[in-house]
Structure 1
Amino acid sequence: MSLPWTWDVPYFLPYDDEAPVPVAPMVLYRYYDDQGRLLYVGITNSFKERNAKHAAASPWIIFATRSTTESFPARRDAEEAERSAIWSERPLFNSQRNRTPWARQRLSVYLVERGRLDLLP
């Protein structure tokens, strides 16, 4: 189940009997290349911060031309959606839940096409 979300509106979940605590919803995000190939799938509660971390440390980010997000009310829902997306959509650069010889072969072919074998893990 996904919810519409804007970063300007706080999302509140009660914490026991205390006052509500602001909590950002979990976001499932996907990065795609210029040909629409899925590069990476992940989850976070702060897409802006996670995007900055990918920009600084993820070599595959140089291929990303667009991203999409889908919001979830709870982490477990986002984790389930992430597992399902990685399993069914087979992003090129996810290593978690995607470690198969065939996944590595697809990544190798992609990097050969891009002239970037230096990015092989």
Structure 2
Amino acid sequence: MTIQPQVTGSLPTRPAPGYTAVYRFYNAEDVLLYIGICDEPLKRWYNHAVDKPWWPDVARFGVTWFPSRDEALEAERKAILEEKPLHNVVWNGIPYNSSQFPMQHLYRLTRERLGDRIFSLRDLVDELGIPPGSAYAESRRLREKGLFQFVGKMKGRSGRAAAHYRALPLEGEVGR
């Protein structure tokens, strides 16, 4: 099984620290398959190659770099809404399942659905439909950014002690 398709274009390299890429995948007929966002395209694309059924259709890619993740997220959202790639789920009006959870939107969804409530990673899995490994990895990134705060270990529904967190409001946001 070949994971890497034959693609055209030079390999993407980050122009400077802190830049985030918005990438597009096209098939051989130049149909837009997918738009994504990441800091390290080759690592992210490897993940797509392993778990996306459409990956063998990728014939070429395009990459645009943005100076901040927030700018890239907004560009990705607008591009998906306007360009309607075949396999995007979020912003394309297609319901997602747990294997397609939009991890870059975890903070916003957590604030919207859980507000100031203290939660465990199991709560994120159960209430937001996030795959367990993804919940762990993304919550770690959000803790490092100061958006999720560790509040302590407490007994969860299983009766075992589990780490619990709070999604901190952004500056100027009123608690919920």
Fold-level similarity (TM above 0.5): yes
* Letter matched to residue 7 of structure 1: T
C-alpha distance in structure 2 between counterparts of 1:64 and 1:91, whole Å? 13
- Which secondary structure state, in structure 2, belongs to the residue aligned with residue 49 of structure 1? helix
Unaligned runs of 5+ in 1: 1-5, 12-22, 102-121
- Partner of 1:72 in structure 2? 66
- Partner of 1:36 in structure 2? 30
C-alpha distance in structure 2 between counterparts of 1:93 and 1:53, whole Å? 15
C-alpha distance in structure 2 between counterparts of 1:8 and 1:58, whole Å? 24
- Partner of 2:80 in structure 1? 86
- Partner of 2:13 in structure 1? 7
Shift of 1:24: 4.3
Corresponding pairs, count: 84
Root mean square deviation of aligned Cα:
1.9
C-alpha distance in structure 2 between counterparts of 1:100 and 1:8, whole Å? 31
C-alpha distance in structure 1 between counterparts of 2:55 and 2:29, whole Å? 14
* Letter matched to residue 86 of structure 2: L
Cα 1:24–1:98 shift into 2, 3 Å: same
Shift of 1:79: 0.5
- Partner of 1:58 in structure 2? 52
Cα distance per residue 1:38-91 (max 9 Å; x no partner) = 000000000010010011111111111001100001001000100110000000
Aligned residues of 2:26 and 2:34 also touching (Cα < 8 A): yes
Which structure has the higher relative contact order (CA within 8 Å, separation 6+)? Answer: 1
C-alpha distance in structure 2 between counterparts of 1:7 and 1:85, whole Å? 21
C-alpha distance in structure 2 between counterparts of 1:69 and 1:56, whole Å? 20
Unaligned runs of 5+ in 2: 1-11, 96-176
Q: Which has the larger radius of gyration?
A: 2
Shift of 1:7: 2.9
C-alpha distance in structure 1 between counterparts of 2:90 and 2:47, whole Å? 18
- Which secondary structure state, in structure 2, belongs to the residue aligned with residue 80 of structure 1? helix
